[in-house]
Structure 1
């Protein structure tokens, strides 16, 4: 029997993350000590309070039924968190929905709002899940240039009028992955004005909202006047609370958009394990206590890696937050080849910029997921590159 994939599968190429992992393991088998800065998986364990809470609830026989959707406990905790840290008030019963991690929510969301051939506005480079979701919906991506002179924020003025008229969805991510640009209230006001003018739903991916190293926390898009009329925000507990494997996130904002997404979700899954939901609620209610250590740790890592790469002659995108460093290397070689050369010669595993779009050529994304001493060692090793 011949197993034949659907035509839609032609849209999904094998992930380069797998190829990097295989090659890195081959080098490791030859004696190379690896320093893996590729995957943005938190290396800091969840707070002991969260581990204990999850453990105790998991012992209860009553914990193992279908939850079907987000619990009232979880939705209320999200609403309290947003009011406390972002000064944004929402109705937990109508303006909060849970997703099985932000990846699942991001990939499925365009299906709920976009018809085939509708345009989705996003960035190049941008997080890989956006492209996957657009493809599943049969929509068309339009990639907004990242304006380096404005701190790599997407330039809405560069979107052609005919594209803007056909757009249904605008996806933003600040601080971003892979480019950790920071938002401003002035920029978000521009986004709201654009969305109202063209009747475009805004999705702001706020997965790195707790990763800020100087000054005030990043602004929630929903804190912008008028944003609740045009937008929703997705956030995850994966990074900020080191609950990546638990797969728990949420979308918050415009009630009608949440209602539509809820209808889709009710046909896709039966909810998240209740002990995970309760643990996530506990994390949100103790966010300030838990995330203070995260920021202190990542701020130091951020400083060491950014300055180290600059000293090597790399051009580093300026940032005051996020979980990654986005940097242009000073060699005449394409980014995929450079990534494999770096592993082979130094054992430092990075993600080539073209993973996130054609405009990532010449760049590397480095995740701040190793301790300071290993980051210093990574910089020293990169000094020895022979290209």
Structure 2
């Protein structure tokens, strides 16, 4: 039996690596398990979304449109106009509902990448490093190769695109950005966007802006979005697509509801692809999504919970870890190599064994590129549980770090 040859290029997902790392370990039975490893929202789903799902059972009797209902696309357009202070995108041509940003990030590359026009090697998909592993899989399965640009701590973890050779830029067809970033929580500035747009103009690649963490932030200033940056710089949305989701914003990761918006020609081609791919959103999910995008009260309440957690936990962890409050998102990205030279994998394994707390090694979220793995000697902690559980985990981590320092 034969399979698609590009499947062999895919690496195990970070959580599969974590499972292998913990193999054979019996955690300390004195502690209940606490996981900060997976970025899965665990605040309760809003009641208004549950009610909308239950009240739309009658919609199951008809096939949904791949383009989504007009009501859904209009609700997304209205939310975008209010959130980003931009003219509402054309709901008919510039917005497309998707089954969560994850599947859209992957399938978008199938629409964008043209392996037949590559010169001097396969086309490239440029990714930040560390990165969301879907970017890499999307590159390989579209017939391209990923090219990683390492996050620079001195630039608030923004990739330094000035280090990329001209010969590389000439092969780039798609560039992924993630702002707020996973795992760093860093937000791109207007100057960062200006640089990216100028590079896109020069080399003709598409920018895919992953903005699924945009509604979790810790100051009064909401993170800048890609389409918003384009408007502020007097641009249209040429070669620009943003992706967003209800998963983190509204605590409904199981709903699998998001959207893409931007360049109308890309949206048109993506709709064609998705029509054949069978990617229409469940009509009940569409009805619930309309309600979710039209309500901000539950989003503000959710953001308040995260702010309260990070205000309590970040200073506590900073007593022993090299960590600081991020710009946004729900991760803490901490250095650990100052603790007796311990590696990120050694830290995660020993913490799990002694204190039954799970964190994700940073090296699992990055690739060796340009001589380094920029995730090495860091850990990612997802503060997604209720505050009491996160606080208990933080106290155990501090105790563990003090053991390492003694």
Q: Structure 1 residues 4, 349: CA separation in 2 closer, same or farther (over 3 Å shift)?
A: farther
In 2, Cα distance between equivalents of 1:379 and 1:250: 35
1:16 aligns with 2:14: yes
User: Where do 5+ consecutive residues of structure 1 fail to align?
Assistant: none
Which one is further off, 107-116 or 25-34?
25-34
Which one is further off, 151-160 or 202-211?
151-160
1:324 aligns with 2:324: no
SS at match of 1:43: coil
Question: How far did residue 305 of structure 1 move?
Answer: 2.8
1:148 aligns with 2:153: yes
1:111 match: 110
Question: How far did residue 87 of structure 1 move?
Answer: 1.9
2:211 match: 206
In 2, Cα distance between equivalents of 1:317 and 1:197: 36
Cα pair 1:75 1:92 within 8 Å, conserved? yes
In 1, Cα distance between equivalents of 2:203 and 2:215: 31
Cα pair 2:200 2:207 within 8 Å, conserved? yes
Q: Structure 1 residues 167, 280: CA separation in 2 closer, same or farther (over 3 Å shift)?
A: same
Question: How far did residue 21 of structure 1 move?
Answer: 5.4
Count of aligned positions? 381
Cα pair 1:335 1:353 within 8 Å, conserved? yes
Cα pair 2:37 2:381 within 8 Å, conserved? yes
1:303 match: 311
Deviations along 1:331-355, one digit per CA (max 9) or x if unpaired, are 3233233222211111111111122
Q: Find 1:374's aligned residue among 389, 401, 405.
A: 389
2:243 match: 234
Question: How far did residue 54 of structure 1 move?
Answer: 0.9
Q: Structure 1 residues 157, 114: CA separation in 2 closer, same or farther (over 3 Å shift)?
A: same
TM-score by length of structure 1 reads: 0.92
Question: How far did residue 8 of structure 1 move?
Answer: 2.4
In 2, Cα distance between equivalents of 1:5 and 1:384: 49
SS at match of 2:333: strand
1:315 aligns with 2:322: yes
Q: Structure 1 residues 227, 140: CA separation in 2 closer, same or farther (over 3 Å shift)?
A: farther
2:132 match: 127
2:171 match: 166
2:198 match: 193
Cα pair 1:304 1:375 within 8 Å, conserved? no
Q: Structure 1 residues 227, 378: CA separation in 2 closer, same or farther (over 3 Å shift)?
A: farther
Cα pair 2:28 2:354 within 8 Å, conserved? no
Q: Find 2:72's aligned residue among 63, 67, 74.
A: 74
SS at match of 1:141: strand
User: Where do 5+ consecutive residues of structure 2 fail to align?
Assistant: 116-121, 367-372
Cα pair 2:7 2:141 within 8 Å, conserved? no
SS at match of 1:366: strand
SS at match of 2:247: coil
SS at match of 1:209: coil
Question: How far did residue 17 of structure 1 move?
Answer: 1.2
In 2, Cα distance between equivalents of 1:189 and 1:19: 37
In 1, Cα distance between equivalents of 2:237 and 2:32: 49
Question: How far did residue 30 of structure 1 move?
Answer: 4.8
Q: Find 1:273's aligned residue among 277, 282, 292.
A: 282
2:369 match: none
2:62 match: 65
Deviations along 1:213-246, one digit per CA (max 9) or x if unpaired, are 1121111110123251230100011110111001
2:118 match: none
CA RMSD of aligned residues (A): 2.1
Q: Structure 1 residues 82, 200: CA separation in 2 closer, same or farther (over 3 Å shift)?
A: same
Cα pair 1:145 1:158 within 8 Å, conserved? no
Deviations along 1:139-186, one digit per CA (max 9) or x if unpaired, are 121111212122111222222111112211111111111111022222
